[in-house]
Amino acid sequence: MGWKEAAEPVLTRMPAVRRPEGHIPFKRKLVWTAGILVLYFFLTNISLLGSAEGATDIFGQFRSVLAGEQGSLMQVGIGPIVTASIVLQLLGGANLLGLDTDDPRDQVLYQGLQKLLVVVMTALTALPMVFAGGFLPAQQSLTLGGLEFGRTQVQTLMFLQVFAGGILILYMDEVVSKWGIGSGIGLFIIASVSQRLVAGFLSLDDGGFFYDWYRILTGQVEIGSIVAGDGLYTLLLQDGHIIALLTTLLIFGIVVYAESVRVEIPLSHARVKGARGRFPVKLIYASVLPMILVRALQANIQFMGQILNSQWAAMPGWLGDYSQGQPTGGFFYYFSPIYSPQDWMWWTGTVTQEAWQVLIRMSIDLTFMVVGGAIFAIFWVETTDMGPEATAKQIQNSGMQIPGFRQNVGVIEKVMERYIPQVTVIGGALVGLLAVWANMLGTIGGVTGTGLLLAVSITYKLYEEIAEEQMMEMHPMMREMFGGK
């Protein structure tokens, strides 16, 4: 008996959101999408019952990518879902699962296995957060409904809340994917980044763009001498946020432009004379979603370092030195991403490490993002049926062909192989490079370059999907062409 036969009774019984029967009107999809979005914001504002002050955000700057909120029911965000996807992609890439995604039975097993992994990852993420290291400190006692709970019981209650939040976000994502527009993961990332971006502009605390400029213009902030460089540094990188503003605007522009750069392969219908079309191979063919996988892998490495630091009193220096919960040396320092200009501008006095240490960290971060972006882009294309073979089958099944070539799947696949693999690698590496560059210069609201890239790209794709939905709503025949009902 193979693993599929042994696991099938469990994997096929994993709870799932029922698929809609027939076509869902566009307005109803909007209602489902908006409802899940409101529920997400509601859950991010529900604090964990029994939590005490002094919590440490173990994910730190990864929050904008993982779409969670520290100390709330959405504590783990989409982290477990992304980690499970990484595990499955690596196993699938090494062909260790033996699953054929074209087989309906194997599709059910794959989806069940993914959900099971998400459940396991949620538990493994929540356990150390609550029970180890003081990342989510619990109250010593709690009275609830006339019952007195001790510290261990309060911790158990907090664990159950974090675990329930992780499972909720899994099924919220499934609801959006089946009944709404786009994907839940993309929707939550847009919500998280947009919230931080708006706060970065409009916050009335220190760090808000407009508030800081109000303080500068009214003389509440000492700029310093522009000639000596102090004032220029203040305006560009500190209270003025000019570099952060320019970087934010440039990322918006570059991503929108990159989404429009494409190679268009002409298509014609084999039986309907005059029916022509084009298959676009975009520069960012795999989208920027593989960046979530790369950043999630980095987040898990830092997560492991935080746990080791909290539990291992005499951790070797080569492995990691920590100060105020942040790595300052060793392996975990060199593998920690660059978040802001203050992390690498050693000449400003904000960095305690030597210049050569900072340069090594920058090189590792750049290599990790560029190479990792290319590798995960390839995995993403192959596992989401966007590769040359799957694309050729889709074109063949739609009745289209490439003018001047025989109507054969193998011929279409060879044409697709000239473009898709190369564009996938180039696009993945380019997105990784942009993310590191944006992080190094800083962004408004501290949303990080990766978070901003994701938000802009996902919003652009969401706009395209809404336009497509509206077109199919107005012209039902288009729905049949796209394989809808």
Among 127, 153, 180, residue at a domain's last position: 180
- Distance between CA atoms of residues 89 and 13, nearest Å: 22
Check whether residue 225 and residue 363 sit in a common domain.
yes
Single residue among 130, 153, 180 that ends a domain in this structure: 180
Into how many domains does the chain fold? Answer: 2
Tell me how far the alpha carbon of residue 195 is from its chain's centroid: 15
Residues 153 and 244 in one domain: no
* Mean pLDDT, residues 465-481: 67
Region of poorest pLDDT, from 94-98, 393-397, 464-468 = 94-98
Q: Does 250 map to a domain?
A: yes
Rounded to whole angstroms, how far apart are CA atoms 94 and 89?
A: 8
**CATH at residue 327:** 1.10.3370.10
What's the CA gap between 361 and 333, in Å, rounded? 7
pLDDT of residue 426: 92
pLDDT in tens, 371-383: 999 998 988 888 7
Give the pLDDT band of residue 159 (cuts 50, 70, 90): very high
Position of tokens 């920058």? 362
Q: What is the pLDDT of residues 246-266, one digit of tens each?
A: 999 998 898 888 888 888 888
- pLDDT at position 7: 84
Q: Specify if 116 maps to a domain.
A: yes
Q: Are 338 and 461 members of one domain? A: yes
Mean pLDDT of 146-168: 91
- Model pLDDT for residues 175-198, shown as the tens digit of each residue: 999 999 988 888 999 998 998 899
pLDDT greater than 80 at residue 429: yes
pLDDT tens-digit map of 94-122: 677 777 767 788 888 888 888 999 999 99
Task: Based on the fold, state whether residues 408 and 268 are members of the same structural domain.
Answer: yes
* Beta-ladder partners of 280: 264
Structural domain contains residue 30 = no
Q: Which residue has 């042994």 as its token pair?
A: 6
Domain match, 168 and 275 both: no
Please check whether residue 211 lies inside any domain of the structure.
no
Query: pTM to 2 decimals?
Result: 0.82
4 in a domain, yes or no? Answer: no
Domain range enclosing 75: 46-180
Do 162 and 223 lie in one domain? The reply is no
Give domain status of residue 53, yes or no. yes
User: What is the pLDDT at residue 325?
Assistant: 76
User: In terms of domains, do 173 and 222 share one?
Assistant: no
Does pLDDT of 482 surpass 50?
Answer: no
Chain-wide mean pLDDT for the chain? 84
Indicate whether 252 and 354 sit together in one domain. yes
Quick: pLDDT tens for 49-89. Answer: 988 887 777 777 778 788 888 889 999 999 899 888 878 87
- Of the three residues 180, 204, 232, the one that is the final residue of a domain is 180
167 against 65, higher pLDDT: 167
Q: What is the pLDDT of residue 118?
A: 93
**Domain co-membership, 307 together with 162:** no
Task: For the beta carbon of residue 382, count every other beta carbon within 10 angstroms.
Answer: 20
Q: Report the distance separating Cα 184 and Cα 125, nearest Å.
A: 20
Domain contains 18: no
pLDDT of residue 409: 84
Instruction: Please give the pLDDT value at position 357.
Output: 93
Mean pLDDT of 401-414: 82
Residues 153 and 277 in one domain: no
pLDDT surpasses 80 at 232:
no
Residues 448-466: what's their mean pLDDT? 86
- Same domain? For 239 and 167 the reply is no
* Claim to verify: residue 230 and residue 145 sit in the same structural domain: no
Q: Tell me, yes or no, whether 307 lies in a domain.
A: yes
